[in-house]
């Protein structure tokens, strides 16, 4: 089968996959779509260099998006190829290194790892860089990585949102993963400020308490978050609700 618009050297997409093999003991090639949501046939070969082999997941602690790997040396943008367990032959990329024992994947696995999986790790030989010079992750997806500690709550009593002259209210004790967007779901209709310190001196962003407010912002994993009213008045309303999704 020939593919219109492609080089005559490529007659069958299956042949491309079947003929990609190790170029040497240190090189590996794979195919990736050129850009997110483009046609499946729009792929480009990517050469990778082996970093380490026979790595193992921790016996527990992983999810289908976050892998627990004690003492790993992985970096953002690296590719993992599973060599045993439920995902043999599958490849995923690292979107974010959460800490020395945990990484966030750019693609969800089909199920939660059992803990018996092993994998090889690879780095791109010709990495794609983003505007800040970091390795760009292809096919990155977003998902909710954390919520308010109290979930959805009514801003009243101990959970009333403080006035701008008061100390802010702690709403997240420690973010579970790095965040790239904050989504607010609320019917209050007031402006609030988001901080990462208990004194309310380091303003991260302004938010409007509406049914669908969203702000793009980079917040590291482990950050403690606080809120308070942008006005010098306490928001105390037992009949209203506030919820936030922290998206990574």
The larger pLDDT score, comparing residue 185 to residue 11, is at: 185
The larger pLDDT score, comparing residue 23 to residue 66, is at: 66
Q: What local confidence, expressed as pLDDT, does residue 166 receive?
A: 96
CA dihedral 60, 63, 64, 68 (to 10 degrees): -60
pLDDT at residue 16 above 50?
Answer: no
Cβ(229)–Cβ(161) below 8 Å: yes
**How many residues are listed for the chain in this entry?**
248
In 3D, which of 92, 115, 102 has the Cα closest to residue 67? 102
Q: Which residue has the tokens 């505007």?
A: 131
Token readout for 240 is 């209203």
Domain borders along the chain are 13-124, 144-247
Report how far residue 55's alpha carbon sits from residue 82's, in angstroms, rounded to the nearest whole number.
9
Cα separations in angstroms, 85 against 36, 54, 105, 154: 28, 12, 18, 45
Q: Which residues pair with 121 in a beta bridge?
A: 52, 80
CA dihedral 174, 176, 141, 246 (to 10 degrees): -40
Q: Which residue has the tokens 């306490």?
A: 234
Task: State how far Cα 36 lies from the chain centre.
Answer: 15
| Helix count and strand count (H, E) for the chain | 1, 15
pLDDT at residue 243 above 50?
Answer: yes
Q: What local confidence, expressed as pLDDT, does residue 230 receive?
A: 94
pLDDT at residue 24 above 50?
Answer: no
Q: What local confidence, expressed as pLDDT, does residue 155 receive?
A: 94
Q: What local confidence, expressed as pLDDT, does residue 17 receive?
A: 44
The larger pLDDT score, comparing residue 58 to residue 96, is at: 58
The larger pLDDT score, comparing residue 31 to residue 62, is at: 62
Token readout for 190 is 């007031």
Q: Which of 12-26, 27-41, 90-104 has the lowest mean pLDDT?
A: 12-26
- What is the distance between the terminal CA atoms of the chain, rounded to a whole angstrom? 40
pLDDT at residue 5 above 50?
Answer: no
Q: 192-241 pLDDT, tens per residue?
A: 999 999 999 999 999 999 888 888 888 999 999 999 999 999 999 999 98
pLDDT band at 93 (very low <50, low <70, confident <90, very high): confident
pLDDT band at 95 (very low <50, low <70, confident <90, very high): confident
Across the range 19-46, mean pLDDT stands at 47
Report how far residue 14's alpha carbon sits from residue 20's, in angstroms, rounded to the nearest whole number.
10
- Per DSSP (E only), the strands in 158-224 are 169-172, 179-186, 191-195, 203-208, 213-219
pLDDT band at 45 (very low <50, low <70, confident <90, very high): low
Report how far residue 29's alpha carbon sits from residue 45's, in angstroms, rounded to the nearest whole number.
7
Across the range 43-59, mean pLDDT stands at 74
CATH 1.10.287 correct for 144-247: no
The larger pLDDT score, comparing residue 64 to residue 139, is at: 64
Q: What local confidence, expressed as pLDDT, does residue 8 receive?
A: 43
In 3D, which of 169, 171, 177, 152 has the Cα closest to residue 247? 177
């Amino acid at each position: 089968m020939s593919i219109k618009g492609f080089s005559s050297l490529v007659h069958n997409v299956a042949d491309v996959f079947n003929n990609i093999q190790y170029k040497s003991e240190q090189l590996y090639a794979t195919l990736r779509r050129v850009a997110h949501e483009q046609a499946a046939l729009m792929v480009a070969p990517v050469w990778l260099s082996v970093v380490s082999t026979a790595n193992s997941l921790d016996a527990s602690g992983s999810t289908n998006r976050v892998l627990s790997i004690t003492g790993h040396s992985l970096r953002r943008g690296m590719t993992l190829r599973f060599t045993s367990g439920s995902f043999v032959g599958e490849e995923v990329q690292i979107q974010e290194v959460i800490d020395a024992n945990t990484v966030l994947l750019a693609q969800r696995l089909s199920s939660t790892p059992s803990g018996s999986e092993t994998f090889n790790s690879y780095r791109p030989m010709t990495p794609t860089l983003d505007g800040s010079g970091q390795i760009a992750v292809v096919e990155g997806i977003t998902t909710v990585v954390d919520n308010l500690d109290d979930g959805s709550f009514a801003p009243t009593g101990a959970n009333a949102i403080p006035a701008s002259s008061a100390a802010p209210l702690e709403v997240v004790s420690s973010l579970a993963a790095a965040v790239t967007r904050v989504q607010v779901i609320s019917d209050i209709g007031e402006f609030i400020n988001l901080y990462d310190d208990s004194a309310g001196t380091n303003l991260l962003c302004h938010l409007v308490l509406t049914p669908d407010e969203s702000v793009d912002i980079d917040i590291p994993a482990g950050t403690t978050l606080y809120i308070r009213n942008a006005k010098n008045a306490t928001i105390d309303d037992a009949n209203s609700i506030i919820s936030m999704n922290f998206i990574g």
